[in-house]
Structures are given as structure tokens and as C-alpha cells.
Structure 1
Amino acid sequence: MEVKILASGSKGNCIAVSSGSSVILIDAGVAKTKIQKRLLQHDINPTDVEAIFVTHAHGDHIKGLPFANEFRIPVYASEGEWKSIKSVDHELQMSVHESMIYLEDFTVTPFDVYHDALEPKGYAIKTHRGKCSVCLDTGHVSPQMLAAMSRSDVYVIEANHHPKMVEVCNRPESVKARILSNSVGHLSNQQTGEALAKLIKGKGERIYLTHLSESNNVSILAQMTVERHLSPFVNGKDYFLEVVR
């Protein structure tokens, strides 16, 4: 199993998960031309993309969905999120429920997350080569989410902000409250570290910290916070962590 972060952050999110010659995308939040270009940069042919899974229908996660129309790729999203997605041809629209989705090389299990969208999801992806869990925009990590993500080989998870940086930034108070909200917001570095501490077993897992705020976080701060929570495990020995901006 290979995981490539094609885009991360408020300007767009797109993750490619590969098993052999088959690929699925989690989100398509940059322009379709950028998705195609970045796939090719990673030696992935766009025609090999088997499906696209949408976490939620905010622009930084669905902007490039017309890519699916061009290459006739099925797009999976929850029924709630389809209410806000208008850019995918009808015959390509697939609904995500609570059950597993079986593709040729992938078994994908959706799980509920907590964000200001109608029915946002995270995804646990299994192949015969391993398991990858993708948890992007969410205000907190519940026990149910931890159970869905457990025993993964790869974790893609947001480390969006440092709360004190949010408190002193020049954004409106309503936006600050949304970011910090447990029910509709984003994960802080500490929340991410606490969640990973319950998941990482020191067996060489790979961790990608994603969706960092440009104004309310710093890469080294996110990394150090998570490393502290994962002690006594050592980055580069017991697990391998990368911050993606």
C-alpha cells in the first residue's frame, strides 16, 4: 500500500491510496488539472483511479470533482453531502452508508466525524497490503472513530491548529469559536497527539499530519506536540511521521 498526499490544507485536499496498479482518491479539493498533474508526478495514470471518496462537501475537498466526469470515475459520498455536491454526473454518484464498500482491490469503511457539514465522514481503507485511515476535518476523535482507525499501518490525520494561536489571531470571534468547537471544528495539535497515542503501537506505522492552518499552526510545533504524546516511542524508529503542508 502506498499513500501520496497530493494536496493538503485550506487551499485543497486530495489523497491517493494505491494498491498495485489500482488507486482511489480521498477528496478532490484542487482543480482537476492539478489533480491530473500531481497524479502523473507520482507515476499514477488518472485512468487507474478506481473511485473517489468524499469526506464532506466543502470547497477545499470537492473543487476538483469534475475530474471524475472526465475519466468516468465513480464518486462516493454520504447522502447528506450529496445535497451540496452539484458537479458530478448523475450516473457516477454513489452513496456511502454505514456498511463497507467493496471495490476490486479495496475495502473501504466509512465512519462518522464531527464537522460543520451535513454528514461528514472519515475512511478506513483495507487492501491485502495493509490498512490506511484518513481522518481530516473533525472537532474531536470519538471512541467509535478510534475503533474504526485502529490497527492501521498508515494514518492520515489533521493537526489543524494551536488553540492559543487561534485565540490571538485576527479572525472574527465566530470563526474562532467554530475552529475550536468539539462538535463542528478542527483538531488541535494536542487532540491529534492524544488520539494517535491511543492508536500507535510502535510497529513502524506511518503518520501524515495534514490540513495545518496557515495562520494558526507551525509545522515543527505540530510535529513536536505529537512526538511528545507518542513518547517513549521514537519518530524514525518506532513510527515515521511527516508533516504535510
Structure 2
Amino acid sequence: MNADEIHYSILASGSQGNSTYIETAHHRILIDAGLSGKRIEERMEKIGRSLKDVDAIFVTHEHSDHCHGVGVLARRYGMAVYANKGTWQAMANKIGKVDLSQKNLIEPGKVKDFGDLQVESFAVSHDAAEPQFYQVHHDNKTFCILTDTGYVSDRVAGTIRDADAYLMECNHDTEMLMNGTKYSWPLKQRILSDEGHLSNEESADALMSVIGPRTKEVLLGHRSHENNTRALAHLTVASMLEEDDLGVDHDFRLDDANQDQPTPLLNL
């Protein structure tokens, strides 16, 4: 790969498990490991990469669809694990023993500098102990991940504005969620709350506030299996962005991350 490129693949994105692989010429990381170790190994093989080469995992929060495989991968491959203090405490009983030498802190608003790769954390509003997400910087390029939040505050929007690429939550269609019978009313309230998840419309609103002239790729992720469809999410977001005079599939590409298959390796 060229020294100025970032390569990335969304290994999985959805309520059943989340993980993103990112590489530069000299470093390789995962953001979250919410599948089993075996399934993450399989996804990595599909994109022609090996977990043996991964330097670190950055964990966003302690929900199992984001941390399920963290302990297994740390023990099997010896990679470093980064999370904030609240997340370390909340996921301690979920991931098993991780050697003290592999445990690292990254608090909200901080940057971990690997030389040719900088990982910046930012706090979000979600029903977890201390949720935070990450944007990765390399050679004046930025890839931002934001897949679990009840809303996007002005502070967050300012932090992530005009990234080169986004993986953005597009969790549910509000009408499908409200009319569905599988979810209890308290669960529906939780999803719709300021500490829940972004609807298709809310995702589009957030994107309208952050997409800039540098933005070349937007991936919609973390879709609910019960309360959304790929086609509906894509159509809703595309329509709203076009109404806002944003150049969908002209100035930037709008695509979809999946639960069951990794995206091909993309590059910036």
C-alpha cells in the first residue's frame, strides 16, 4: 500500500456484532471486537488479512456486540487493548482475564499516536458506562466511526465534521420500531431515547451537519435486524441528503455496511 493511504474494512456492523479493521503502511488496529474470535478470524481471512498483524483493539463500550471477542483475541494474539476507565470496569466480567501489560487507557477527548496513525476518542450519548467512539487520522485523512448514540450533539458534530469517510449508525425506522410486536415498550423507549440509537432520519440529519468537501465515503451501519432494512435505510438517508443538495454518489459515495459479510478493503 502507498504510505499516504488508509485501508479499512467493516468486518461486521449490526446489533449482533461490530468490528472494523483499519491499516496504514506501518500499523493495523481493530475498533471493537463484537463477534467471536473465530468469526473475526474468518472475516479477516476474507479480506486477505491476519489478526497476527494487528497491533491493538480499541473498544467503544462494554455492550457484548462490541466487546464479545476482545478477551479471546487479546489472549490469543497478545495485542494491546485500549478503552477508558469506565469501559474497562464495566466489561471486566465479560471478556475474561487480560494481562495487565496489554491493558491501556484512552479517555474521551484524547489521542493515541502510533506515528503514522492517530486514534482520537470522543464521548457519545449511549446507555453504557462511559461510551466513546473513535476517528482515525493519517496523512491529513480521517475515518470516523459513530454507531451507537442517541443523538449527535453540537460538540460531537464539531469534532467529526468534514472527515474523509464515515461509518454512521442508521439503526431503525421509527415506524417499524413503534409498530413492531417483538420489542417491549420499555425497550422501544430505550432505543428512542437520547441514550439509545439513531433512526434513519436522525442519521441523515447528523450527516447533513458533518459532511464536508473532503468527504468521499459514507457507510451506513448498525442496522436493526428487526426494525430496519438495508433498502429503507439507504433510501431514507439518500433522499434526505439529496434534498439538502448534497451530492450523493457524485461528491461522495453512499454505501451500506453489513452484519454478515465484511466490506472489501476500502482506501482513502
**Is the shorter-chain TM-score for this pair beyond 0.5, marking a shared fold?**
yes
Which residue matches 2:263?
A: none
TM-score by length of 2: 0.87
Which residue matches 2:193?
A: 181
How many Å separate the matches in 2 of 1:15 and 1:51?
12
Which residue matches 2:143?
A: 132
How many Å separate the matches in 1 of 2:226 and 2:190?
15
1:65-84 matches, cutoff 5 A: 65=70, 66-84=72-90
Aligned residues of 2:161 and 2:212 also touching (Cα < 8 A): no
The correspondence for 1:152, drawn from 137, 140, 163, is 163
Aligned residues of 2:26 and 2:116 also touching (Cα < 8 A): no
Which residue matches 1:105?
A: 116
AA matched with 1:105: D
Structure 2: state its 5+ residue gaps. Answer: 1-5, 259-268
How many Å separate the matches in 2 of 1:218 and 1:41?
24
Structure 1: state its 5+ residue gaps. Answer: none
Q: Does 2:96 match 1:90?
A: no
Aligned residues of 1:21 and 1:48 also touching (Cα < 8 A): no
Which residue matches 1:49?
A: 54
How many Å separate the matches in 2 of 1:106 and 1:85?
26
Aligned residues of 1:46 and 1:71 also touching (Cα < 8 A): yes
Q: Whose relative contact order is higher, 1 or 2, with alpha carbons under 8 Å and at least 6 apart?
A: 2
| RMSD value, Cα | 1.4
How many Å separate the matches in 2 of 1:203 and 1:75?
30
How many Å separate the matches in 2 of 1:208 and 1:112?
21
Structure 1: 4+ residue segments shifted above 4 A: none
Aligned residues of 1:124 and 1:148 also touching (Cα < 8 A): no
1:13-41, Cα deviation, whole Å (9 max, x unpaired): 00011112521111000011111121122
SS in 2 for 1:222: helix
Aligned identity (percent) is 34
